[in-house]
Each structure stands twice: as structure tokens, then as C-alpha cells.
Structure 1
């Protein structure tokens, strides 16, 4: 019998629901895909990107507490997370509205 997504350390009912919306129904599926492919599937299904959500998944698949990530390891995960975001939303930034482009130009938009 497959284990539930929430059987992965650090993941609970909200993560389980998000993975279900992405068509992933078991811990075994996530383990087979790996953190990056599973998180990319979440993003492609409409889940908003959230760095903590990503590294919680990575730590959980390693059997580590969610807050066991720091320093260079956390920075490397941030780089991977940013790449996954860019892959999931490739047109982001290309199709910005004229207003958004002007606000960015004068420094009124926060960096992403």
C-alpha cells in the first residue's frame, strides 16, 4: 500500500493536497521523482513558488528536520529553487505590462 505524501518528514496535509492537485498521490512517487522534479510539477500545477516550501521538501526527502538547512547548502538550494521557478514560469518578465516595466525602471517594484 502506498504511503501518503505526509509520511515524508516535514510535509503535512497542505502539502499532501498541493501534490494531489499536481497529480502526485504518494510519498513513493515523490521519492522516485526527486525533490526538483516534484516541486517543478507543483509549480506547473499552479502552486505559488515559496522557497521554504521547496527546501522543506528537500530536507524531508533526506530525513532531516526542515530547519536543518543553512549557509552554503541553503544558498545552493536557493539557486536550484530560482532555476525551477524560471523553468515553470518562462514567460514571467517577458510579458510584463507597460506599467510594471515603468515601475520597475524607477525602482518601485521589489526584486524577485
Structure 2
């Protein structure tokens, strides 16, 4: 399989290894084509909606992966801009979670959804 095969697993995309592939699979993203169609922001939103803890490195690695660049190529102003996007996306998703009294009780005893 080649990295431009839309039906190939996400691991054909540079920087996407087995661990990140599992995180993506948990979010319903199994193919390289699906990941490309969603783009990094929407894919990361899907990841957050699984209850995964926000992680900036994973976010910018997705951006670099979809550009075919090494994960550690993100530096300087570009990294700062991505950090601002990440913070906004994270805040948007935190605000979209339904906050019920029951959910707050679960959080209080340490078994609620991880955010």
C-alpha cells in the first residue's frame, strides 16, 4: 500500500504509528483517506470527543503528518500559531460537553469522563 491510497490504514501516513493509529481508531478514523478528508482539526475534535486527554504534541503531529513533514519540523511562529489553534479547539470542545449533575457527581468521586 502507498501513502496516497485512501483505503490504506492511517499508519501509511508519515508520523502515524501504532499508538496514534489506535487513538484515531477509537475516534472512528481507520483509513488514510478518512483522516485526510477530515483534516487535522476535525480529526483531533473526534479524538477529544472519545474522552481522550488533550495533548498538544499529538495535535501538531497530525498537522505535520498530513503535510508529509517530520513531526519535529514544527517550530517557531508556526508552532505558536498551532498552539493558539489547539487552545481554541480544546476550549470549544470542553464547552460542548454536556455537564449534568450526574456527570459532576461522577467527576467528584473520580470516575467521570476524562477531559
Q: TM-score, normalized by length of structure 1?
A: 0.78
Unaligned runs of 5+ in 1: 98-112
Q: How big is each residue's C-alpha offset from its partner over 1:60-94, in whole Å with a ceiling of 9 and x where there is no partner?
A: 100000000111100000011111111111178x9
Q: Does 1:65 align with 2:59?
A: no
More helix by share: 2
Q: Does 1:74 align with 2:79?
A: yes
Q: Post-superposition, which runs of at least 4 consecutive aligned residues in structure 1 deviate over 3 A?
A: none
Unaligned runs of 5+ in 2: 105-115
- 1:52 equivalent in structure 2: 57
- Equivalent residue for 1:18, pick from 15, 23, 28: 23
Report 1:1-112 matches (<5 A): 2-90=7-95
* Distance in 1, Cα, partners of 2:96 & 2:42: 19
* Distance in 2, Cα, partners of 1:6 & 1:48: 21
* Distance in 2, Cα, partners of 1:52 & 1:31: 19
Displacement of 1:45: 1.0
* Distance in 2, Cα, partners of 1:35 & 1:49: 14
Q: TM-score, normalized by length of structure 2?
A: 0.76
